[in-house]
Structure 1
Amino acid sequence: MPNPVVAGDWSHFDFTLTPQAKDAFETAMQPLFEAKYTPLAFASRSAGGLDYCFLCDVQYPAAFPDGNAVKVYLYQPSDGRPYPYRIVPIGP
């Protein structure tokens, strides 16, 4: 069961992606061809639309063979297409 979203507050990370979260991620990340992002968990918050933060495994092209973990932030406007606005590496 997804965590409730309170306006302005991030939910806890959920390791089961909802169909809505999965669709937003796939739509927003479709144009990014240089790496493969695999969402593992997500958190969300209401912000005049919906903000998402996805914990992802990322696999870079052959020139950068090592995978890493990142946080991918997306914004889903209430009347438009979702888009990524920040990708943050997660270090050890």
Structure 2
Amino acid sequence: MVVKDVPKTGGWSKFDALSSTDRAVFKETMAGLAGVGYEPLVVRKQVVAGTNYEFICNARVVYPGTDWYPAMVLIYKPLKGSAVIKKISRIAAH
């Protein structure tokens, strides 16, 4: 029996591959966003009064010839109701 990485309430899980539920939350929440395209790569979660999702993504401005760059998308999904974008930030290269 394999035990999955289940975070304690308030703690963040490790970054992991996206489940079908993670992909659905991301797609539904980002549906109305225009101007930049985001491709989620991995996710970590924090169980609170709902769930925080922190996605590491490839992103690029929706314009021919633009380059991809790394970005972080934080989404909050309450116990009841729709998920909302809390923060989107570009990940700086070191």
TM normalised by structure 1 equals 0.90
Q: Secondary structure at the match of 2:73?
A: strand
TM normalised by structure 2 equals 0.88
**Cα pair distance change 1:36/1:2, threshold 3 Å:** farther
1:4 aligns with 2:23: no
Structure 2 letter corresponding to 1:3: D
CA displacement 1:5-37 (0-9 Å, x = unmatched): 2111110000x2111111110010000021110
Look at both structures and tell me which one has the larger radius of gyration over its CA atoms: 2
Gaps of 5+ in 1: none
Structure 2 letter corresponding to 1:9: G
Alignment of 1:13-32 (within 5 A): 13-14=15-16, 16-32=17-33
Q: 1:83 maps to what in 2?
A: 84
Query: Cα distance, 1:3 vs. partner?
Result: 2.4
Tell me the C-alpha RMSD between the 2 structures. 1.7
1:44 aligns with 2:45: yes
**Percentage of pairs with the same residue:** 25
Q: Secondary structure at the match of 2:10?
A: coil
Query: Cα distance, 1:64 vs. partner?
Result: 7.9
4+ aligned runs moved over 4 Å, structure 1: none
**Cα pair distance change 1:80/1:64, threshold 3 Å:** farther
Gaps of 5+ in 2: none
Equivalenced residues, count? 91
Matches of 2:46 and 2:4, distance apart in 1? 12
